[in-house]
Amino acid sequence: MTRQQVLDLYFLAARHQLIEIAAFLDRVDRAEGEADFRLGAFAAALRCLQEAPPGERATAVLMALSDPTTEPLPKAPGKGAVGAWSGQRLAA
């Protein structure tokens, strides 16, 4: 596809998603109380949109939200995932 075709197919959807992100951050701003680690991880992922090499933005965003460690955990801390790594490097 040409860039023009990509814009024709996807610009409105991307615009919609971008405004959703902006509104989400405004909603967080208006809310009270402390945010947990997910907000910081989200901000770091947003920076990837500007800083990642062309063609690598999706990978960079996913990596910004991923656990980069290599050692298995001593025990599973429950079953669920929350979408961002807490940054805790659990002791073996």
Partner 1 sequence: MRYIEPHAHMVSRVTDDYAAMVTAGCAAVCEPAFWAGFDRGSPQAFHDYFCQLTEYEPRRAAKFGLPHFCWLCLNPKEAEDPGFAREVLALIPQFLDRPNVLGIGEIGLNKNSRNELQVLEWHVDLAARTGQLILVHTPHLEDKFKGTRLTLDVLRADSRIRPERVIIDHVEEHTVKMVLDAGFWAGMTLYPETKCTPARAIDILERYGPERLWLNSACDWGVSEPLVVARTTLEMRRRGWSAEAVDRVIYQNPLRFLSQCPRFKLP
Residues that bind partner 1 (CB under 8 A): 1, 9-10, 58-59, 62-63, 65-70, 72-85
CB of 50 to partner 1, least distance (A): 18
CB of 32 to partner 1, least distance (A): 26
CB of 75 to partner 1, least distance (A): 6
* H or E element in which residue 48 lies: helix 37-51
Distance CA 26, CA 69 (A): 32
Whichever of 1 and 30 has its CB closer to partner 1, that residue is: 1
CB of 52 to partner 1, least distance (A): 11
Whichever of 33 and 68 has its CB closer to partner 1, that residue is: 68
Find, among 67, 60, 91, 64, the residue nearest to 81 by Cα.
67
Q: Could you tell me if residue 78 is left (phi over 0), alpha (psi between -120 and 50 degrees) or otherwise beta?
A: left
Whichever of 10 and 24 has its CB closer to partner 1, that residue is: 10
Distance CA 51, CA 54 (A): 9
